[in-house]
């Protein structure tokens, strides 16, 4: 098996497992058995081990000597830590992205925000929300920074899903609109300040 092919399989496995963990389909504390995962995906143990390493780098699983891999839990302190880290890094990325912002980028972000308003469940809303953030931050063109933010957003999604159940309705995101208004007006500092406050609330929402 070539390295490139192995990477492709491991990425597919890690993404599928990440989606299950984030949505709560696989609960905190559950053990991920290498043999079972390899059999499900028709893969050897090499890409499965790499997939587990990718999940661990995202904070979704923990590896325990002689006990294998289990889905990581999280505490309120961890939720707050992720929110603070996201707030700092996303504000930095937005300031770096601002000089490269175009009307087309902002229009695309506006559509992502409208998709969130139309979402019928928390999963569709979270996807639209994450898309909005990626669109306005991507012009910073700093791959390592964006990768760190993406990993933190994965953690935020998991916190969000754990706090919402069946009773849910799509919120109208006034912060997103305020960020877009500030960016269109050329007010980078205002946009970054709103983004910082907005992200600090992620993971602290509860169902109505």
Q: What is the pLDDT, as a whole number, of residue 163?
A: 61
**Which of 26-30, 65-69, 90-94, 203-207 ranks highest by mean pLDDT?**
90-94
Range of the domain at 32: 3-71
Note the pLDDT of residue 172. Answer: 62
* pLDDT-based confidence at residue 121 (cuts at 50, 70, 90): confident
Residue 195's pLDDT is 96
Residue 173 pLDDT exceeds 90: no
Co-location of 27 and 48 in the same domain = yes
Is residue 206 in a domain?
Answer: no
* Last residue within a domain, chosen from 54, 71, 88: 71
Q: What is the per-residue pLDDT for 208?
A: 37
Q: For residues 159 and 153, which has the higher predicted lDDT (pLDDT)?
A: 153
The residue among 115 and 167 whose pLDDT is bigger is 115
Tens of pLDDT along 34-77?
999 999 999 999 999 999 998 988 888 888 887 889 998 878 88
Last residue of a domain, one of 18, 50, 71: 71
Q: What is the pLDDT of residue 158?
A: 80
Same-domain status, 107 and 140? yes
Average of per-residue pLDDT values in the chain: 86
Q: Which of 71, 93, 125 is the last residue of a domain?
A: 71
Q: Are residues 35 and 82 in the same domain?
A: no
Closest CA relative to residue 191, chosen from 80, 90, 83 = 90
Specify the higher pLDDT residue, 207 or 27: 27
Q: How far apart are CA 136 and CA 107, in angstroms?
A: 10
Q: Do 35 and 95 fall within a single domain?
A: no
Residue 81 belongs to a domain with what CATH number? Answer: 1.20.120.530
pLDDT at residue 196 is higher than 90: yes
Mean predicted confidence (pLDDT) in 119-128: 85
Nearest to 46 by CA among 100, 102, 5, 82: 5
Instruction: Output the domain CATH number for residue 53.
Output: 1.10.10.10
Interval 9-20 mean pLDDT: 91
Based on the fold, state whether residues 99 and 81 are members of the same structural domain: yes
């Amino acid at each position: 098996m070539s390295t490139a092919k192995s990477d492709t399989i491991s990425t597919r496995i890690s993404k599928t497992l990440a989606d299950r963990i984030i949505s709560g389909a696989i609960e905190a504390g559950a053990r991920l058995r290498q043999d079972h995962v390899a059999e499900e995906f028709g893969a050897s143990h090499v890409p499965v081990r790499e997939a587990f390493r990718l999940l661990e780098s995202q904070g979704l699983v923990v590896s325990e000597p002689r006990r294998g891999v289990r889905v990581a839990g999280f505490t309120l302190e961890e939720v707050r830590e992720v929110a603070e880290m996201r707030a700092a890094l996303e504000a930095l990325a937005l300031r770096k992205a601002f000089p490269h912002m175009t009307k087309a980028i902002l229009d695309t972000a506006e559509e992502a925000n409208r998709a969130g308003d139309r979402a019928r469940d928390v999963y569709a809303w979270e996807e639209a929300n994450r898309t909005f953030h990626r669109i306005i931050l991507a012009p910073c063109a700093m791959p390592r920074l964006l990768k760190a933010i993406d990993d933190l957003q994965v953690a935020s999604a998991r916190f969000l899903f754990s706090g919402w159940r069946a009773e849910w309705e799509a919120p109208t995101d006034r912060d997103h609109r305020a960020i877009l208004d500030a960016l269109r007006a050329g007010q980078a500092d205002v946009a970054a300040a709103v983004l910082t406050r907005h992200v600090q609330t992620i993971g602290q929402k509860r169902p109505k």
